Amino acid sequence: MTKVAIWCRHEKDSVIGIGPSIPWHVSSDFRRFKRITGGQNIVAGEKTYESFPNRTLPDRKIYVLTFNPDYEVSDKANHFVVTDIRTFKDFDGDLYIAGGASIYKAFMSGGSKLMPDIVVDCVYHGPLNPELKGDKIDIQPCAEALQKHYRQMTPGHELDNITTTVFAKKGDFVEQSVLKRIVKAIEEE
Ligand SMILES: NC(=O)c1ccc[n+]([C@@H]2O[C@H](COP(=O)([O-])OP(=O)(O)OC[C@H]3O[C@@H](n4cnc5c(N)ncnc54)[C@H](OP(=O)(O)O)[C@@H]3O)[C@@H](O)[C@H]2O)c1
């Protein structure tokens, strides 16, 4: 029953998106995300879900958060609509929180039953893609909550201008098998 948030934010202002897009392209970041979330349950906001290629991610169950109960997913056997985030308070199994900003913020500020037990904090140090149009979307409140409520579990792992560090909620028991699986997935490349 471990909740894990995984994000990649810019070192300045914790920007994670411009309009619908992630404002950098780092292949190893996608591969890390795939290794960590492969075979798992993930939750994504409707906008992030719409941005997945063909609105899917193979080999994962996807819970799509939307206020629209009639929202149609692309794969009814493996994707599920959730209109009330409180459903996840008693989620049966591990859950990987995959964004976007509104979903990270809702879980990180959602009290002890929604706050992730583990955060995989990837911080990108390069430039933002200057060609993207749209508003910058940031998760600064999540970065602040991370500093306040979490303890660092691993040294930063450097790859392709991204530092990846694993954090766990202060004072809480951390499922060691989940932590080990995540660390292995990070160190694989
Ligand atoms: N760098 C990264 O790690 C990363 C990861 C993921 C996404 N992103 C970026 O993040 C940006 C998208 O973030 P976003 O905040 O705009 O969109 P989002 O969180 O992906 O989706 C927002 C939508 O989720 C639904 N929603 C939000 N809160 C809800 C709640 N409490 N209950 C039920 N439904 C809820 C609403 O859908 P309805 O309008 O349908 O009701 C809302 O419009 C994009 O730029 C994307 O590329 C970056």
User: Beta strand 15-18 with 136-138: parallel, antiparallel or unpaired?
Assistant: antiparallel
5 lines ligand 1 (CB under 6 A): no
| pTM (2 d.p.) | 0.98
Predicted local distance difference test score (pLDDT) of residue 115: 98
DSSP state of 86: G
Q: What is the largest distance, in Å, between two alpha-carbon atoms of the chain?
A: 44
Report how far ligand 1's centroid is from the alpha carbon of 66 (Å).
9
Over residues 182-189, mean pLDDT = 97
Q: Per-residue pLDDT tens for 92-148?
A: 999 999 999 999 999 999 999 999 999 999 999 999 999 999 999 999 999 999 999
Q: What is the rounded radius of gyration, in angstroms, for the C-alpha atoms of the chain? A: 16
Task: Sketch the domain layout of the chain as residue ranges.
Answer: 3-187
Superfamily designation of domain 3-187: Dihydrofolate Reductase, subunit A (3.40.430.10)
Over residues 83-98, mean pLDDT = 97
Predicted local distance difference test score (pLDDT) of residue 165: 98
103 lines ligand 1 (CB under 6 A): yes
**Identity of residue 52:** F
CB distance 154 to 188 below 8 Å:
no
